[in-house]
Structure 1
Amino acid sequence: MHLFAFADYQSPPIIHLQQYPSLQEIKQFTGGAELEYSALEFSATEELLSLSTSPDYLLTIWNWRTGVKLAQCETTKKPPVEISFNPNSWYDIGILYRDQINLYTCERQNDKYVLFERPLTLELFNQTVAHNQPTYQQTKTKQSNPLRVADVIRRFPSRFSFTLVDSTIGTDQGTSVK
C-alpha cells in the first residue's frame, strides 16, 4: 500500500491521508494546528509527524493507522528547514533550523506518550554552518559548496546520538552517528 499525506488550507487545517494511486481517503487528522502545517513526515512504522506554523508551532505524533494523536508539544517558534524521524527508532525526532537542531525523544509509559526536547545550537561547533545557502565569500568566488549540517555532525560524532537523514546524501539514505 502506498500512502501520502497533505494538509488543506482551511482553519483549522485537516491532514488527509490517502492511498495511491486510487486516491482513496484512509484517515483525517485534526487538532494538530491552529492555522497551517509547515511539515509532515512518515516514520518507518505507523507514525505520522506534523509540525504546525505560527502562532502555535506544535509538534504532533499520530498513529496513522488508528488516527490517534500519540503526543504533542510546543517547539521553537521559528520556521524549520527540515523535520525527520530517526529511521531506526520513531521515538527519536529531529528538527533542523538555520541556527540549531532540536532533538526530541518520545517516551511511553503504558498508553501515555510524552515528548522531551534537547536543543543543540550550531555554535557548539565553533564554525559557521550554512544550509543550502552560499556565504558571501563563496558568492564572490563563484563557489557554491556550503558546509552542510550533516557534514558537521559527522565531524563531531561525540556530540550526537541521532540519525540524521539528509536530502543531500540521497533518497532514503542516512548516516547513523553515535
Structure 2
Amino acid sequence: WVQGFSRKNFGFIDNQTVCYPCGNYILFLDIETKKTTALQCPAGQVGAFAASGSGQVLAFSDRKLNPIIYVYTFPGLSKLAELKGNAQLDYTLLEFSFTGPYLASYSSIPEFVLSVWNWQENILLCSESQPGVAVTSLSFNPMNWQQLCCVNESSVTIWRIERNNDEYHLKQNPVKLPDGQGSVSPHEDLFFPVSRNEDPYHGPDLPVSAIAGLV
C-alpha cells in the first residue's frame, strides 16, 4: 500500500529522482534504476508538499491539529527544520523559492494565511491573512524571491515581500483578469474621472478636488 500514487502533487528533487506524497510517506522513485525509497512523516499523514530540485530539499506538513512543516535534505533524508506557524487545521500549499532559503506556505480554513519563511534560520519572515480565499496555486518569481504569485478560482494576486531593516511585510497587487468575452474593464482614474453620459456637467474634466471646491 505504500507504493501507490494517490495524489497529483509530485516533483523532481534531482535529475533522475521523482518524489511524491503517499499516505504517511514521501516516496522517492529513481527513474533509471526504478528503485523506490520511503521517508515516513513523523506525525501521521502527509499534508502539503514541495520539492526543490536546485536545492535538493523537500518540505511537507503533517495533517493534525496545529500542523508542523518539516524540511529534509536529499539524498541524505536528514531533517533540517521544523517550522511551527499559527495554522490550526492544515496547510494546503508549500513552495520553495528558486534562489535563497525561502519557503512559502498557505493554510486552510479558518486562517487562510500566506506565510514566507527562512527555513535555514527557522524564522517566519512575514504573513498575511486572506479570509475566505482558497488559493489553488502558489509560485515564486524565478528571478526575484521577493515576488509571489497566488491564484484562486477568480483572481490572480502578485505579492511583494518588502523589507524595512529586519522587518518583512507582504504587499498585494491584484491583477485584473479578462471577463468571459476576453476584455478587461478599464481602470477608473479617481483623480481625473471620465465624464459619463448621465453626468449633468458637460464642461472640461476637472480634478475631484476642484469639483469639491478644495482648490
Interval containing the TM-score (normalised by the shorter chain): 0.5 to 0.7
Structure number with the higher helix fraction is: 1
Match of 1:112 in 2: 167
| Distance 1:26-1:115 versus aligned 2 partners, 3 A rule | same
**Which residue of 155, 167, 179 corresponds with 1:126?**
179
Unaligned runs of 5+ in 2: 1-54, 188-215
Matches within 5 A, 1:116-155: 116-122=171-177, 125-127=178-180
Percentage of identical aligned residues: 29
Match of 1:66 in 2: 121
Cα distance, 1:21 vs. partner? 2.0
Cα distance, 1:31 vs. partner? 1.3
Match of 1:24 in 2: 78
Q: CA RMSD in A?
A: 2.1
Counterpart amino acid of residue 180 in structure 2 = Q
1:102 aligns with 2:157: yes
CA distance in 2 between counterparts of 1:126 and 1:6 reads 36
CA distance in 2 between counterparts of 1:46 and 1:32 reads 21
3-state SS, counterpart of residue 104 of structure 1: strand
What is the TM-score of this pair, normalised by structure 2?
0.56
Q: With CA pairs under 8 Å and 6+ residues apart, which has the higher RCO, 1 or 2?
A: 1
1:53 aligns with 2:94: no
Unaligned runs of 5+ in 1: 130-151, 160-178
Query: How many residues are matched?
Result: 130
Which protein has the larger Cα radius of gyration, Structure 1 or Structure 2? Answer: 2
Cα distance, 1:111 vs. partner? 0.2
**Which residue of 136, 147, 153 corresponds with 1:92?**
147
Cα distance, 1:71 vs. partner? 0.5
Does structure 1 retain, via aligned residues, the 8 Å contact 2:111–2:131? no
Cα distance, 1:72 vs. partner? 0.7
What is the TM-score of this pair, normalised by structure 1?
0.67
CA distance in 1 between counterparts of 2:128 and 2:83 reads 16
1:7 aligns with 2:61: yes
CA distance in 2 between counterparts of 1:61 and 1:32 reads 13
1:35 aligns with 2:35: no
